[in-house]
Structure 1
Amino acid sequence: MSDKDQKDSAPKFQPPYGGAIVHITNPHQHHGYRHMVAWCVSLGATSREYILGEIEKAKKAEADAETIYQVHKESEHRPGEWITVADLRLSNPEAADQVQRYVDAMVDYEERMAAYHKRPTPPRQNSYTLTFPASVSVVVQAPTLAAAYAALTPREDTSGHEIKQADPHIPGTMRIELDRAHGTLIATDDPKHQQPPAERRAPLSV
Protein backbone atom coordinates (compact mmCIF):
# COMPACT_ATOMS: atom_id res chain seq x y z
CA MET A 1 0.00 0.00 0.00
CA SER A 2 1.42 3.40 -0.94
CA ASP A 3 1.81 6.30 1.50
CA LYS A 4 -1.05 8.05 -0.29
CA ASP A 5 -3.34 5.02 0.08
CA GLN A 6 -2.49 4.80 3.78
CA LYS A 7 -3.30 8.48 4.29
CA ASP A 8 -6.56 8.08 2.39
CA SER A 9 -7.59 5.16 4.62
CA ALA A 10 -6.73 6.93 7.90
CA PRO A 11 -9.70 7.93 10.11
CA LYS A 12 -11.06 11.44 9.59
CA PHE A 13 -12.16 13.77 12.37
CA GLN A 14 -15.84 14.63 11.94
CA PRO A 15 -16.71 17.45 14.36
CA PRO A 16 -20.32 18.60 14.77
CA TYR A 17 -19.22 22.19 14.12
CA GLY A 18 -16.15 24.22 13.28
CA GLY A 19 -16.03 23.64 9.53
CA ALA A 20 -12.68 23.30 7.78
CA ILE A 21 -10.53 24.95 10.45
CA VAL A 22 -7.48 23.11 11.79
CA HIS A 23 -8.93 21.25 14.76
CA ILE A 24 -6.73 20.34 17.72
CA THR A 25 -7.27 16.61 18.12
CA ASN A 26 -3.85 15.41 19.27
CA PRO A 27 -3.90 14.41 22.98
CA HIS A 28 -0.29 15.54 23.27
CA GLN A 29 -1.47 19.03 22.34
CA HIS A 30 -4.78 19.38 24.17
CA HIS A 31 -3.55 17.45 27.28
CA GLY A 32 -7.08 16.23 27.99
CA TYR A 33 -8.67 19.70 27.86
CA ARG A 34 -11.10 18.66 25.16
CA HIS A 35 -13.94 20.76 26.57
CA MET A 36 -11.78 23.87 26.31
CA VAL A 37 -11.02 23.09 22.67
CA ALA A 38 -14.73 22.51 22.01
CA TRP A 39 -15.66 25.77 23.74
CA CYS A 40 -13.11 27.84 21.83
CA VAL A 41 -14.21 26.36 18.50
CA SER A 42 -17.87 27.02 19.39
CA LEU A 43 -16.98 30.70 19.82
CA GLY A 44 -15.42 30.74 16.34
CA ALA A 45 -11.78 30.65 17.43
CA THR A 46 -9.62 29.58 14.48
CA SER A 47 -6.17 30.36 15.89
CA ARG A 48 -4.30 27.29 17.06
CA GLU A 49 -1.91 29.52 18.98
CA TYR A 50 -4.77 31.08 20.95
CA ILE A 51 -6.40 27.74 21.85
CA LEU A 52 -3.07 26.12 22.74
CA GLY A 53 -2.25 29.16 24.87
CA GLU A 54 -5.49 28.79 26.82
CA ILE A 55 -4.80 25.09 27.30
CA GLU A 56 -1.32 25.84 28.59
CA LYS A 57 -2.69 28.28 31.16
CA ALA A 58 -5.25 25.73 32.36
CA LYS A 59 -2.57 23.06 32.55
CA LYS A 60 -0.26 25.25 34.65
CA ALA A 61 -3.15 26.12 36.97
CA GLU A 62 -4.06 22.41 37.21
CA ALA A 63 -7.61 23.36 36.28
CA ASP A 64 -10.34 20.70 36.05
CA ALA A 65 -10.22 18.59 32.87
CA GLU A 66 -13.73 19.79 31.94
CA THR A 67 -12.73 23.46 32.15
CA ILE A 68 -13.90 25.57 29.24
CA TYR A 69 -12.49 29.02 30.10
CA GLN A 70 -11.18 31.28 32.87
CA VAL A 71 -13.17 34.25 34.08
CA HIS A 72 -11.29 37.51 33.56
CA LYS A 73 -9.39 38.44 36.71
CA GLU A 74 -10.96 41.91 36.70
CA SER A 75 -14.49 40.58 36.44
CA GLU A 76 -16.85 41.41 39.29
CA HIS A 77 -18.35 37.90 39.20
CA ARG A 78 -16.06 34.98 40.05
CA PRO A 79 -12.85 36.73 38.93
CA GLY A 80 -10.06 34.35 37.82
CA GLU A 81 -12.24 31.28 38.35
CA TRP A 82 -12.08 28.39 35.91
CA ILE A 83 -15.53 27.62 34.51
CA THR A 84 -16.40 24.02 33.67
CA VAL A 85 -18.95 22.55 31.28
CA ALA A 86 -21.03 21.66 34.36
CA ASP A 87 -21.18 25.38 35.25
CA LEU A 88 -22.20 26.14 31.69
CA ARG A 89 -24.97 23.57 31.85
CA LEU A 90 -26.59 25.47 34.72
CA SER A 91 -26.88 28.66 32.69
CA ASN A 92 -26.98 27.42 29.10
CA PRO A 93 -27.71 23.68 28.75
CA GLU A 94 -28.00 23.91 24.97
CA ALA A 95 -24.46 25.32 24.66
CA ALA A 96 -23.21 22.67 27.10
CA ASP A 97 -24.76 19.92 24.97
CA GLN A 98 -23.09 21.37 21.89
CA VAL A 99 -19.70 21.36 23.60
CA GLN A 100 -20.24 17.78 24.74
CA ARG A 101 -21.07 16.62 21.21
CA TYR A 102 -17.76 18.06 20.02
CA VAL A 103 -15.91 16.34 22.88
CA ASP A 104 -17.63 13.02 22.07
CA ALA A 105 -16.46 13.38 18.45
CA MET A 106 -12.89 14.00 19.68
CA VAL A 107 -12.93 10.89 21.87
CA ASP A 108 -14.37 8.78 19.06
CA TYR A 109 -11.69 10.04 16.66
CA GLU A 110 -8.89 9.34 19.15
CA GLU A 111 -10.15 5.78 19.65
CA ARG A 112 -10.35 5.18 15.91
CA MET A 113 -6.86 6.59 15.42
CA ALA A 114 -5.48 4.35 18.18
CA ALA A 115 -7.02 1.31 16.48
CA TYR A 116 -5.69 2.49 13.10
CA HIS A 117 -2.11 2.71 14.39
CA LYS A 118 -2.38 -0.80 15.89
CA ARG A 119 -3.34 -2.35 12.56
CA PRO A 120 -0.85 -4.75 10.89
CA THR A 121 1.61 -2.87 8.71
CA PRO A 122 1.47 -4.03 5.07
CA PRO A 123 4.77 -5.58 3.91
CA ARG A 124 7.17 -3.40 1.97
CA GLN A 125 7.08 -4.00 -1.78
CA ASN A 126 10.64 -4.43 -3.10
CA SER A 127 11.99 -4.47 -6.64
CA TYR A 128 14.02 -7.47 -7.84
CA THR A 129 15.84 -7.85 -11.15
CA LEU A 130 16.31 -11.55 -11.89
CA THR A 131 17.80 -13.65 -14.67
CA PHE A 132 17.02 -17.30 -15.42
CA PRO A 133 18.26 -19.97 -17.76
CA ALA A 134 15.42 -20.24 -20.23
CA SER A 135 14.17 -22.60 -22.89
CA VAL A 136 12.56 -20.58 -25.66
CA SER A 137 10.13 -22.11 -28.13
CA VAL A 138 8.99 -20.03 -31.07
CA VAL A 139 6.12 -20.66 -33.45
CA VAL A 140 6.60 -18.72 -36.68
CA GLN A 141 4.31 -18.67 -39.69
CA ALA A 142 6.59 -18.57 -42.73
CA PRO A 143 6.60 -19.93 -46.30
CA THR A 144 9.83 -21.91 -45.72
CA LEU A 145 12.05 -23.10 -42.88
CA ALA A 146 14.81 -20.76 -44.08
CA ALA A 147 12.41 -17.82 -43.92
CA ALA A 148 11.39 -18.80 -40.39
CA TYR A 149 15.03 -18.85 -39.27
CA ALA A 150 15.71 -15.59 -41.08
CA ALA A 151 12.85 -13.91 -39.22
CA LEU A 152 14.58 -14.70 -35.92
CA THR A 153 18.18 -14.06 -36.91
CA PRO A 154 19.97 -12.10 -34.14
CA ARG A 155 21.06 -8.57 -34.92
CA GLU A 156 22.78 -5.93 -32.78
CA ASP A 157 21.04 -2.84 -31.47
CA THR A 158 22.80 0.50 -30.94
CA SER A 159 23.98 -0.52 -27.45
CA GLY A 160 25.75 -3.63 -28.76
CA HIS A 161 23.32 -6.13 -27.25
CA GLU A 162 22.06 -8.98 -29.36
CA ILE A 163 18.32 -9.05 -29.81
CA LYS A 164 15.94 -11.31 -31.68
CA GLN A 165 13.19 -9.64 -33.58
CA ALA A 166 10.71 -11.44 -35.78
CA ASP A 167 9.84 -10.09 -39.19
CA PRO A 168 6.77 -7.87 -38.53
CA HIS A 169 5.23 -9.21 -41.75
CA ILE A 170 5.37 -12.81 -40.48
CA PRO A 171 2.96 -13.58 -37.58
CA GLY A 172 4.42 -15.70 -34.78
CA THR A 173 4.19 -16.56 -31.11
CA MET A 174 6.90 -17.22 -28.51
CA ARG A 175 6.93 -19.43 -25.41
CA ILE A 176 9.56 -19.00 -22.70
CA GLU A 177 10.08 -21.53 -19.90
CA LEU A 178 12.13 -20.26 -16.93
CA ASP A 179 14.29 -22.54 -14.78
CA ARG A 180 13.34 -21.10 -11.36
CA ALA A 181 15.77 -23.34 -9.51
CA HIS A 182 18.71 -21.56 -11.14
CA GLY A 183 17.59 -17.93 -10.95
CA THR A 184 20.17 -15.19 -10.40
CA LEU A 185 19.62 -11.92 -8.54
CA ILE A 186 21.04 -8.98 -10.48
CA ALA A 187 19.77 -5.97 -8.51
CA THR A 188 17.30 -5.14 -5.74
CA ASP A 189 16.26 -2.36 -3.36
CA ASP A 190 15.42 -4.93 -0.67
CA PRO A 191 17.56 -4.01 2.38
CA LYS A 192 17.60 -7.68 3.43
CA HIS A 193 19.59 -8.62 0.34
CA GLN A 194 22.90 -6.99 -0.37
CA GLN A 195 22.88 -5.84 -3.97
CA PRO A 196 25.50 -7.97 -5.77
CA PRO A 197 27.90 -6.37 -8.27
CA ALA A 198 27.03 -7.17 -11.87
CA GLU A 199 30.30 -9.04 -12.36
CA ARG A 200 29.58 -11.28 -9.30
CA ARG A 201 25.94 -12.28 -9.62
CA ALA A 202 24.62 -14.10 -6.57
CA PRO A 203 22.57 -17.29 -6.94
CA LEU A 204 18.91 -16.87 -6.03
CA SER A 205 17.45 -19.11 -3.31
CA VAL A 206 13.83 -20.05 -4.06
Structure 2
Amino acid sequence: MNLNYPIILGSKSPRRKEILAKAGFEFTVEAKDTEESYPAEMPHIEVAAFLAEKKARAFAADTNYNEHIILTADTTVLIDNELLEKPKNDDEAFSMLSKLSGRAHQVVSGFCILVNGNFEKYSDETLVYFNPIEDQVIWDYIRNHKPFDKAGAYGIQEGIGLTHIEKLEGSYFTVMGLPIHKVYQALSAFAKG
Protein backbone atom coordinates (compact mmCIF):
# COMPACT_ATOMS: atom_id res chain seq x y z
CA MET A 1 0.00 0.00 0.00
CA ASN A 2 1.42 3.39 -1.02
CA LEU A 3 0.59 6.00 1.59
CA ASN A 4 0.49 9.79 1.43
CA TYR A 5 2.88 10.08 4.38
CA PRO A 6 5.77 8.02 5.80
CA ILE A 7 4.95 5.89 8.83
CA ILE A 8 6.73 6.17 12.17
CA LEU A 9 6.09 3.27 14.53
CA GLY A 10 6.17 4.81 18.00
CA SER A 11 6.95 1.59 19.84
CA LYS A 12 10.00 -0.22 21.20
CA SER A 13 8.26 -3.59 20.80
CA PRO A 14 10.14 -5.96 18.47
CA ARG A 15 6.88 -7.87 18.01
CA ARG A 16 4.98 -4.83 16.69
CA LYS A 17 7.89 -4.04 14.38
CA GLU A 18 7.84 -7.61 13.06
CA ILE A 19 4.06 -7.61 12.45
CA LEU A 20 4.10 -4.27 10.62
CA ALA A 21 7.05 -5.34 8.45
CA LYS A 22 5.49 -8.70 7.60
CA ALA A 23 2.32 -6.87 6.55
CA GLY A 24 4.40 -5.10 3.91
CA PHE A 25 4.63 -1.61 5.39
CA GLU A 26 7.76 0.51 5.17
CA PHE A 27 8.36 2.53 8.31
CA THR A 28 10.90 3.88 10.75
CA VAL A 29 10.86 3.28 14.51
CA GLU A 30 11.01 6.11 17.00
CA ALA A 31 9.59 5.61 20.47
CA LYS A 32 9.14 8.29 23.09
CA ASP A 33 9.11 7.43 26.79
CA THR A 34 5.59 7.90 28.09
CA GLU A 35 4.26 7.33 31.58
CA GLU A 36 1.76 4.48 31.28
CA SER A 37 -0.79 5.78 33.79
CA TYR A 38 -4.55 6.03 33.30
CA PRO A 39 -7.53 7.29 35.34
CA ALA A 40 -8.43 4.88 38.16
CA GLU A 41 -12.12 4.98 37.23
CA MET A 42 -11.49 4.12 33.56
CA PRO A 43 -13.09 0.84 32.44
CA HIS A 44 -10.23 -1.63 32.01
CA ILE A 45 -11.35 -2.52 28.49
CA GLU A 46 -10.53 1.08 27.43
CA VAL A 47 -7.03 1.32 28.94
CA ALA A 48 -5.06 -0.04 25.95
CA ALA A 49 -6.52 2.50 23.48
CA PHE A 50 -6.14 5.30 26.05
CA LEU A 51 -2.44 4.50 26.54
CA ALA A 52 -1.89 4.18 22.79
CA GLU A 53 -3.30 7.70 22.34
CA LYS A 54 -1.18 8.98 25.24
CA LYS A 55 1.92 7.63 23.47
CA ALA A 56 0.86 9.37 20.23
CA ARG A 57 0.34 12.67 22.08
CA ALA A 58 4.05 12.58 23.00
CA PHE A 59 4.74 13.22 19.28
CA ALA A 60 2.01 15.82 18.71
CA ALA A 61 3.75 18.94 20.02
CA ASP A 62 6.72 18.56 17.64
CA THR A 63 6.03 19.99 14.17
CA ASN A 64 8.78 17.77 12.74
CA TYR A 65 6.20 14.99 12.80
CA ASN A 66 3.71 16.85 10.61
CA GLU A 67 3.15 15.02 7.34
CA HIS A 68 3.97 11.71 8.99
CA ILE A 69 1.71 8.92 10.14
CA ILE A 70 2.50 8.17 13.78
CA LEU A 71 1.36 4.69 14.86
CA THR A 72 1.43 3.84 18.57
CA ALA A 73 0.01 0.86 20.46
CA ASP A 74 -0.52 -0.72 23.85
CA THR A 75 -1.66 -4.15 25.02
CA THR A 76 -3.44 -5.12 28.23
CA VAL A 77 -4.47 -8.44 29.76
CA LEU A 78 -7.70 -8.77 31.76
CA ILE A 79 -8.92 -11.61 33.97
CA ASP A 80 -11.91 -11.30 36.30
CA ASN A 81 -11.86 -7.58 35.44
CA GLU A 82 -8.35 -7.33 36.93
CA LEU A 83 -5.77 -5.61 34.74
CA LEU A 84 -2.52 -7.59 34.53
CA GLU A 85 0.21 -5.15 33.53
CA LYS A 86 3.90 -5.85 32.95
CA PRO A 87 5.31 -7.80 35.92
CA LYS A 88 7.96 -6.00 37.97
CA ASN A 89 9.72 -9.16 39.19
CA ASP A 90 9.72 -12.97 39.20
CA ASP A 91 7.08 -13.27 41.92
CA GLU A 92 4.65 -10.94 40.14
CA ALA A 93 5.15 -12.86 36.90
CA PHE A 94 4.50 -16.15 38.71
CA SER A 95 1.35 -14.75 40.32
CA MET A 96 0.01 -13.55 36.95
CA LEU A 97 0.71 -16.79 35.13
CA SER A 98 -0.83 -18.80 37.98
CA LYS A 99 -4.03 -16.74 37.59
CA LEU A 100 -4.10 -17.40 33.84
CA SER A 101 -3.42 -21.15 34.21
CA GLY A 102 -6.37 -23.29 33.11
CA ARG A 103 -8.59 -20.28 32.42
CA ALA A 104 -9.71 -17.88 29.73
CA HIS A 105 -8.68 -14.22 29.73
CA GLN A 106 -9.02 -11.18 27.47
CA VAL A 107 -6.19 -9.50 25.64
CA VAL A 108 -6.93 -6.00 24.38
CA SER A 109 -4.57 -4.24 21.99
CA GLY A 110 -5.25 -0.61 21.28
CA PHE A 111 -3.56 1.57 18.70
CA CYS A 112 -3.62 5.21 17.75
CA ILE A 113 -2.89 6.92 14.46
CA LEU A 114 -1.80 10.56 14.55
CA VAL A 115 -1.73 12.52 11.31
CA ASN A 116 -1.34 16.31 11.23
CA GLY A 117 -2.84 16.84 14.67
CA ASN A 118 -5.73 14.39 14.26
CA PHE A 119 -5.91 11.36 16.57
CA GLU A 120 -7.84 8.21 15.74
CA LYS A 121 -7.79 5.42 18.32
CA TYR A 122 -8.95 1.84 17.94
CA SER A 123 -8.88 -1.39 19.89
CA ASP A 124 -9.38 -5.09 19.34
CA GLU A 125 -10.03 -7.88 21.80
CA THR A 126 -9.15 -11.58 21.76
CA LEU A 127 -10.20 -14.26 24.22
CA VAL A 128 -7.29 -16.58 25.10
CA TYR A 129 -7.78 -20.03 26.64
CA PHE A 130 -4.85 -21.44 28.62
CA ASN A 131 -4.45 -25.09 29.57
CA PRO A 132 -3.34 -25.68 33.17
CA ILE A 133 0.34 -24.83 33.71
CA GLU A 134 2.45 -26.62 36.31
CA ASP A 135 4.34 -24.39 38.77
CA GLN A 136 7.73 -25.69 37.63
CA VAL A 137 6.88 -24.88 33.99
CA ILE A 138 5.97 -21.32 35.03
CA TRP A 139 9.26 -20.85 36.92
CA ASP A 140 11.27 -22.28 33.98
CA TYR A 141 9.50 -19.91 31.60
CA ILE A 142 10.19 -16.87 33.80
CA ARG A 143 13.85 -17.83 34.15
CA ASN A 144 14.37 -18.53 30.43
CA HIS A 145 12.22 -15.83 28.82
CA LYS A 146 12.20 -12.98 31.39
CA PRO A 147 8.70 -11.77 30.38
CA PHE A 148 8.94 -8.40 32.14
CA ASP A 149 8.14 -6.39 29.01
CA LYS A 150 4.86 -8.22 28.40
CA ALA A 151 1.41 -7.56 29.83
CA GLY A 152 0.21 -10.66 31.67
CA ALA A 153 3.82 -11.97 31.82
CA TYR A 154 3.75 -14.03 28.63
CA GLY A 155 4.28 -13.84 24.89
CA ILE A 156 2.00 -15.87 22.63
CA GLN A 157 4.92 -16.61 20.30
CA GLU A 158 7.24 -18.20 22.87
CA GLY A 159 7.42 -20.76 25.67
CA ILE A 160 4.16 -21.04 27.61
CA GLY A 161 2.32 -19.14 24.88
CA LEU A 162 3.30 -21.78 22.33
CA THR A 163 2.76 -24.81 24.52
CA HIS A 164 -0.20 -23.95 26.77
CA ILE A 165 -2.64 -21.83 24.76
CA GLU A 166 -5.45 -24.16 23.76
CA LYS A 167 -7.42 -21.78 21.53
CA LEU A 168 -8.16 -18.17 20.68
CA GLU A 169 -11.38 -16.34 19.90
CA GLY A 170 -10.10 -13.40 17.88
CA SER A 171 -6.83 -12.37 16.27
CA TYR A 172 -3.46 -13.95 17.10
CA PHE A 173 -1.80 -10.64 16.21
CA THR A 174 -3.95 -8.75 18.72
CA VAL A 175 -2.46 -11.00 21.42
CA MET A 176 1.01 -10.45 19.97
CA GLY A 177 0.49 -6.69 20.35
CA LEU A 178 -0.84 -5.18 17.12
CA PRO A 179 -4.26 -5.95 15.54
CA ILE A 180 -2.84 -5.67 12.05
CA HIS A 181 -6.16 -6.30 10.28
CA LYS A 182 -7.55 -3.14 11.91
CA VAL A 183 -4.29 -1.21 11.42
CA TYR A 184 -4.38 -2.04 7.71
CA GLN A 185 -7.97 -0.79 7.40
CA ALA A 186 -7.17 2.40 9.32
CA LEU A 187 -4.05 3.14 7.24
CA SER A 188 -5.90 2.55 3.97
CA ALA A 189 -7.57 5.94 4.53
CA PHE A 190 -4.16 7.47 3.80
CA ALA A 191 -3.44 5.47 0.65
CA LYS A 192 -2.48 7.35 -2.49
CA GLY A 193 -5.36 7.46 -4.92
TM range (shorter): under 0.3
Higher strand share: 2
Q: Which has the larger radius of gyration?
A: 1
Task: Between the two structures, name the one with larger relative contact order (CA 8 Å, sep ≥ 6).
Answer: 2
Normalising to structure 1: TM-score of the pair? 0.23
